[in-house]
């Protein structure tokens, strides 16, 4: 009797039910399942608190930005950059609230305004450094940063890199008026260093691709002016 073995369900030709399989998996991988559930709960909580943190950071950066922008409007660029007493300057706001991954919209705007303040103060190298490291999701604002870099190169009498920056700005921009305007700036840079063929190609492109814009009208006039020298 002791040697008699009871046939298992498989030996009897029976397959385990779906419920049996699920119970087996739940028992065997209990620790892993609990760990995964805890991870998902923590992830959801983390996302919630991160979003709350981002909202709070945006409110704080927007408030600080609103306090310093009047100095920009008055042309008091040094104060706008460095702040005044208890009012944080654009540099501090950008340092705290701008960034590629965790930056707030107002923090990134502070960075753009900081670059413009440096440019307006003729601090072209400082402005160029900020313009080239800006991270902005809006295409037209990102294009404005590239164009700002072009302006800085012109301030440094470096027309070839200025032309390149303006062309990049035209590609980045969504607004067709801005696209034409930036291409016209690039063409003017080529004209400035006597690369008239490149200038003429860009002027012709502006007239063909962006008819009716102020950039197209200016490009047509420039084409007439340089036509005798090509």
pLDDT tens across 125-151, in order?
A: 999 999 998 877 889 989 999 999 999
pLDDT value at position 188? 96
pLDDT at 47 over 60: no
Least confidently predicted of 30-39, 71-80, 88-97, 209-218: 30-39
Query: Where along the chain do the CATH 1.25.40.10 domains lie?
Result: 138-230
pLDDT at 64 over 60: yes
* Confidence category of residue 229, pLDDT binned at 50, 70, 90: confident
pLDDT value at position 105? 79
Is 47 or 72 the better-scoring residue by pLDDT? 72
pLDDT at 24 over 70: no
* Confidence category of residue 3, pLDDT binned at 50, 70, 90: very low
pLDDT at 32 over 50: yes
pLDDT at 29 over 80: no
pLDDT value at position 4? 41
pLDDT value at position 37? 52
DSSP output for the chain? -TT--PPPTTTTTPPPPHHHHHHHHHHHTHHHHHHHHHHHHHHHHHHHHHHHHHHHHHHHHHHHHHHHHHHHHTT-HHHHHHEETTEEPHHHHHHHH--TTT--HHHHHHHHHHHHHHHHTT-HHHHHHHHHT---SSHHHHHHHHHHHHHHHHHTT-HHHHHHHHHHHHHH---HHHHHHHHHHHHHHHHHTT-HHHHHHHHHHHHHHSTTSHHHHHHHHHHHHHGGG-
Kindly report the CATH number that applies to the domain delimited by 138-230.
1.25.40.10
* Confidence category of residue 35, pLDDT binned at 50, 70, 90: low
Q: Per-residue pLDDT averaged across 3-30, rounded?
A: 47
pLDDT at 214 over 70: yes
pLDDT at 14 over 60: no
Give the global pTM.
0.71
- Average pLDDT value for the chain: 80
């Amino acid at each position: 009797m002791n040697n008699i073995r009871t046939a298992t369900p498989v030996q009897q030709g029976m397959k385990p039910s779906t419920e049996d399989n699920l119970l087996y998996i739940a028992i065997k991988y209990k620790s892993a399942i609990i760990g995964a559930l805890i991870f998902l709960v923590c992830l959801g909580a983390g996302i919630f608190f991160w979003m709350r943190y981002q909202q709070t950071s945006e409110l704080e950066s927007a408030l600080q930005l609103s306090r310093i922008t009047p100095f920009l409007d008055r042309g008091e660029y040094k104060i706008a950059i460095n702040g005044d007493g208890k009012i944080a300057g654009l540099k501090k706001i950008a340092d705290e609230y701008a960034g590629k991954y965790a930056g707030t919209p107002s923090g990134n705007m502070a960075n753009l305004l900081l670059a413009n303040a440096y440019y307006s103060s003729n601090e072209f190298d400082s402005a160029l450094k900020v313009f080239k490291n800006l991270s902005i999701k809006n295409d037209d604002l990102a294009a404005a940063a590239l164009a700002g870099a072009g302006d800085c190169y012109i301030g440094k009498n470096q027309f070839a890199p200025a032309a390149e920056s303006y062309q990049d700005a035209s590609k980045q921009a969504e607004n067709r008026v801005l696209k034409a305007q930036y291409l016209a700036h690039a063409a003017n840079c080529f004209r400035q260093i006597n690369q008239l063929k490149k200038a003429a190609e860009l002027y012709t492109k502006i007239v063909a691709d962006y008819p009716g814009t102020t950039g197209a009208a200016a490009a047509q006039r420039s084409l007439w002016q340089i036509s005798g020298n090509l």
